[in-house]
Amino acid sequence: MESINEKATPSEGRYQALPLQVPVELRKGWRKKQRHLFLFNDVLIVSNNVHKKKFKVKYVIPLSYLWIGDYVDLAGTDSTAGSKSIVLFWPMKNFVATFRSREQKEQWHFYIQRYINEAKEIAERKNIALQINTKDIPYSTSACA
């Protein structure tokens, strides 16, 4: 786990903009933990609660790998905690993040979805389509020849 403190400057880190941060309760199964979410342009950082201007990073999740879902839609119930929760999915992990209010949850859902879409568009632009010409290859079994 890496530690980020107050002496870090924007030029030292690769994450430049910090649009949103919020304390949440992360739940996986029966285990509940108080965590802090930081949403950057390209990653979501999950850390322990901020204490004395220092915190430990638990997860750094690239937004191009992240999916989110509304907990009410997935669970099928409209409980008070469910209406303030979203589900975070990424390869090998998933959590239910419960916010302090329904408005905070809606704001985070909007911004996370927006930044996920932007990150996935950038990732798609980086993919390069290769064209392979097999005309000049003798004994090619390709249908293109």
Query: What count of Cα atoms within 13 Å lies in the side-chain half-sphere of residue 117?
Result: 6
Burial class (CB in 10 A: 0-12, 13-18, 19+), 84: buried
- pTM over cut 0.85: no
| Residue 131 in domain | no
Q: Tokens for 97?
A: 């993040």
CATH of the domain at 69: 2.30.29.30
Q: 133 lies in a domain? A: no
Closest to 23 in 3D by CA, of 10, 39, 35, 11: 35
What are the distances in angstroms from CA 79 to CA 40, 75, 113, 143? 30, 10, 23, 58
Q: Give per-residue pLDDT as tens, 85-115.
A: 899 888 888 889 999 999 999 998 999 999 9
Whether residue 29 lies inside any domain: the answer is yes
pLDDT, tens only, 4-54: 333 333 434 455 566 778 888 888 888 888 888 888 888 888 888 766 577
Q: How many domains does the chain have?
A: 1
44-57 b/e with 16+ CB inside 10 Å = b?
bbbbeeeeeeebee
Residue 31 falls within a domain, yes or no? yes
- The two tokens of residue 42 are 């390209």
The verdict on residue 138 lying in a domain is no
Q: Are 55 and 34 in contact (CB under 8 A)?
A: no
**Mean pLDDT over residues 75-91, rounded?**
74
